[in-house]
Structure 1
């Protein structure tokens, strides 16, 4: 009927190639079976020590390659950036991994169209006066922040120098996040949960699915 795929970590050493390897594999399997069957996968979990400053990450690149592969038809991604473990490359909470995969099958293949299966993803990013506004898709009844003080974490912004800095962020309305970045001159791009282990990523939709890690240019 279809495929579920749990991504292994060995591909992180070939992150740039994975932008081509992963969709090529899916297309090849479908060609050999003669059918565009559903293909749902688990995005890499958070792992290793968290960092204090924004930094480059091969793990984040592989996650981005997985997300871009959603451009293929009949695909879906279970985001588990919130249930990984710093010291264990194999997250123990497999039940929630399976549940998030099952949501895609229920929604797309078994007629449960009311089941929300997709994690929030950025739709547009634009400057509004001295702020940056990120609008999201897949919010269900709205974006929520899982933090007892209401702090939204793990957003970073870079200027033309390519240096990312943490920024203040807050949910504004149903589907928008507003970023304040007074220390970034001429901001050009935004990252969320970009790193080996962004253990403070805490943006979700109303049904509890975590926002997809991303890097995106500002319009």
Structure 2
């Protein structure tokens, strides 16, 4: 998507259903697409047009710090656990992970006490998995998986 000009994407996983491929909340989908088009096609500035998108991660003391674009004004939920993250260990086994936002930033700390040397971090990377990570205007984070560079 970043390599092809004039192409965009909006996250709609939070608007869907596990049993139906088409999201029932078409107006919300249209609003999100309109935000993207206004910003990227028509050059209108001054508003957030995307939910958080994975930028980079690093391993620090057995925990993964994941940084996001489109979270510069902070991420939510701030005072409750972030749901939807998983870690992969050196044997390729996938574990649910705990996650929390670091001090109102665009960084989420992810860990599992049983995964001391994670090789991969994922967010909602399944056919249907709801997470609760959003930016401060309520747009949801995009699913992703990435290898952790050490």
TM-score normalised to the size of structure 1? 0.64
CA distance in 2, matches of 1:195, 1:133: 21
CA distance in 2, matches of 1:94, 1:206: 22
Pairing partner for 2:26 from 94, 102, 106: 94
Q: 1:152 — aligned with what? A: 82
What is the aligned counterpart of 1:186 among 82, 99, 117? 117
CA distance in 2 between partners of 1:111 and 1:125 (Å) = 30
Q: 175, 193, 196: which is aligned to 2:106?
A: 175
Structure 2 CA distance, aligned partners of 1:95 and 1:106?
Answer: 16
CA distance in 2, matches of 1:140, 1:176: 9
Paired positions, count: 148
After superposition, residues 103-118 of structure 1 pair within 5 angstroms as: 103-118=35-50
Say which SS state the counterpart of residue 82 (structure 1) adopts. helix
Over residues 16-75 of structure 1, what are the superposed CA-to-partner deviations in whole Å (9 max), with x where a residue is unaligned?
xxxxxxxxxxxxxxxxxxxxxxxxxxxxxxxxxxxxxxxxxxxxxxxxxxxxx3321222
Rg larger for: 1
Structure 1 residues without counterparts, runs of 5 or longer: 1-68
Instruction: Please name the residue that 1:73 is paired with.
Output: 5
TM-superposed deviation, 1:102: 0.3
Written as runs of structure 1 = structure 2, the 5 A alignment for 1:198-209 is 198-199=129-130, 201-209=131-139
> 2:43 & 2:117 partners in 1: Cα distance?
47
Greater fraction helix: 1
Of 107, 119, 128, the match for 2:51: 119
Q: Which moved more, 1:137-146 or 1:124-133?
A: 137-146
* 2:128 aligned with 1:197: yes
**Stretches of structure 2 lacking an aligned partner (at least 5 in a row):** none
Shift of 1:140: 4.2
User: Aligned Cα RMSD in Å?
Assistant: 1.6
Residue of structure 2 in register with 1:17 after alignment? none
Equivalent positions of 1:2-21 (< 5 A) are: none
Aligned to 1:60: none
For 2:21 and 2:36, the matched residues in 1 are separated by 24
For the residue of structure 2 that corresponds to 1:77, the secondary structure is coil
